[in-house]
Amino acid sequence: MSSGASDAAAWSRIAEPARAASGHQAIEWARRRSPVLDGMVRRRLSDGSLEGRRVAVVVHLEAKTALLATVLADAGAVVVAAGSNPWSTRDDVAAALVERGIQVHATRGSTVEEWEKDLLAVADTGPEFIIDDGAELTIRMARDRPEQYAAVRGVSEETTTGVARLVQLHERDGLPMPAIAANDAKLKHLFDNRYGTGQSTVQAILQLTNLRLPGKRVVVVGYGWVGRGIATYCAGLGARVTAVEVDPVKALEAHTDGHDVADIAAALAAADIVITATGGLRAVSEGHAAALRDGVVLANAGHHDHEIDVPALRALAVAEEEVRPGVTQLDLDGKHVYVLAEGALVNIAGGLGHPIEIMDLSFSVQALGCHLLAAADASGEPLPPGVHDFPVELDDAIARAKLASRGISLDALDVSQTDTLSELFSGEEAS
């Protein structure tokens, strides 16, 4: 074992160091299918901006995330990793990262208390930059480690809920550093939230239940980017979709996309499968229990484990049993309700997570976001505190690199193809 690996092993908290081999295999499988992160992004990161900088990576700890951590470490960063949800950690991947000299604080299925302790262990390493998911580390550092928090030089945030939390922190005067809204990059939410979550959520539900979709009534609660993607995949596989929305424009969008739209009570009364994707809390709670049908399957794709209020439904249950791996049967007033993956993000905690090709885009955004923060910081002109957009030129660079990796080239408009006012006013031809 190298000295870096033995130091990492001494400082880490992981479950199964002996399983590193399959973790390395999974990371290598992801690497070979991530041409942008492993190519263009790697090259951009090699300019020395990240050399010796401490970077915390707190994202669902599985193979694609481990590749991101490895690329950052190869660029010279001192990387520490933890999971953004205790149910999504892969212990073999965590072990492989430690063998690569990266400190890890994560075990699959740890209690909320253990998980929070892991996040604070990461905070105690004094990260200068955070690649966060759901702002899980950032908000805990703001609350529990104010000294280390004040020293953070920048955050790059993965998801819708995390960006919303960072905006709230900023409004409370609680964000003393710049944060990049990686989620809002086109190359993130247009692909990851919509197609990545759409495919992987449906895949996970079918895998966990061994059911099929044709003819089933699927209720999607929340018709944002995630809900829209899930609805598209469900309809594509033959389900009849009802969208539940509180935003009238998005509800109309769902209707125009060809789905039924209803309020939650009416929708639940007909549902075979309910999938939440609201980014909020308690979209399905004890007040909805009476409306649930016998045999209904409940799955969550939003960031919070409490979109489906599993503790509240549990409190109403007279009995419960894990009837298949990842499927909990609750006996409610004479009917059975099936909760998938304990109400955690079903596609990640109960499935394989997003397709690798999608995370190649999302993690390219995250890596370039972190690089942007570090390069600005090193130049002596850091970005000002607050939540910043991801630069359009970086979005375009990622898209071009992805297209090039598929052998696709694009045309460029020449000036004669561009509509200009001068042509209209003077009748002159554009030169």
Angle CA(253)–CA(258)–CA(263) in degrees, nearest 5?
A: 65
Tell me which stretch binds ligand NAI (CB under 6 A): 49-57, 116-124, 192-200, 394-402: 192-200
Interacting residue with ligand NAI among 283, 361, 370, 401 (CB under 6 A): 283
Packed helices 3-11 and 91-99: angle between N→C axes, nearest 10 degrees: 140
Binding flag, residue 160, ligand NAI (CB under 6 A) = yes
For residue 33, count other CB atoms closer than 10 A to its CB: 17
C-alpha 265 chain-centroid distance: 29
User: Which amino acid is it at 372?
Assistant: L
For residue 77, count other CB atoms closer than 10 A to its CB: 26
* Nearest residue to 153 via CA among 69, 53, 249: 53
Q: 300-334: b or e for each residue (b if 16 or more CB lie within 10 Å)?
A: bbbbbbbbbbbebbeeebeeeeeeeebbbbbebee
For the bound state, the minimum distance from the C-beta of residue 235 to ligand NAI, rounded and expressed in Å, comes to 17
Binding flag, residue 199, ligand NAI (CB under 6 A) = no
For the bound state, the minimum distance from the C-beta of residue 359 to ligand NAI, rounded and expressed in Å, comes to 10
- Tokens for 113? 């208390």
Binding flag, residue 347, ligand NAI (CB under 6 A) = yes
For the bound state, the minimum distance from the C-beta of residue 430 to ligand NAI, rounded and expressed in Å, comes to 40
d(CA 88, CA 108): 7
For the bound state, the minimum distance from the C-beta of residue 222 to ligand NAI, rounded and expressed in Å, comes to 3
Interacting residue with ligand NAI among 149, 225, 338, 390 (CB under 6 A): 225
Tell me which stretch binds ligand NAI (CB under 6 A): 5-13, 78-86, 295-303, 416-424: 295-303
Binding flag, residue 131, ligand NAI (CB under 6 A) = no
Q: Tell me if residue 272 falls in helix, strand or coil.
A: coil
* Nearest residue to 372 via CA among 204, 181, 151, 225: 181
Interacting residue with ligand NAI among 247, 263, 322, 429 (CB under 6 A): 247
C-alpha 361 chain-centroid distance: 12
Phi, psi of 429 (to 5 degrees): -80, 140
Binding flag, residue 358, ligand NAI (CB under 6 A) = no
Binding flag, residue 224, ligand NAI (CB under 6 A) = yes
Interacting residue with ligand NAI among 178, 302, 326, 343 (CB under 6 A): 302
For the bound state, the minimum distance from the C-beta of residue 159 to ligand NAI, rounded and expressed in Å, comes to 3
Interacting residue with ligand NAI among 152, 221, 375, 401 (CB under 6 A): 221
How many residues of this chain bind ligand NAI (CB under 6 A)? 30
Kindly list the distances between the CA atom of residue 72 and the CA atoms of 62, 102, 163, in Å, as whole numbers in the listed order.
16, 10, 22
Show Cβ contacts of residue 41 under 8 Å, excluding neighbours closer than 6 positions.
Answer: 71, 364, 367, 368, 398, 401
Interacting residue with ligand NAI among 85, 88, 199, 278 (CB under 6 A): 278
Cβ proximity to ligand NAI: between 91 and 192 the closer is 192
Residues 161-180 binding ligand NAI (CB under 6 A) are 161
Cβ proximity to ligand NAI: between 301 and 387 the closer is 301
What residues make contact with ligand NAI under the rule CB under 6 A?
159-161, 189, 192-193, 197, 221-227, 244-247, 250, 277-280, 283, 301-303, 345, 347-348
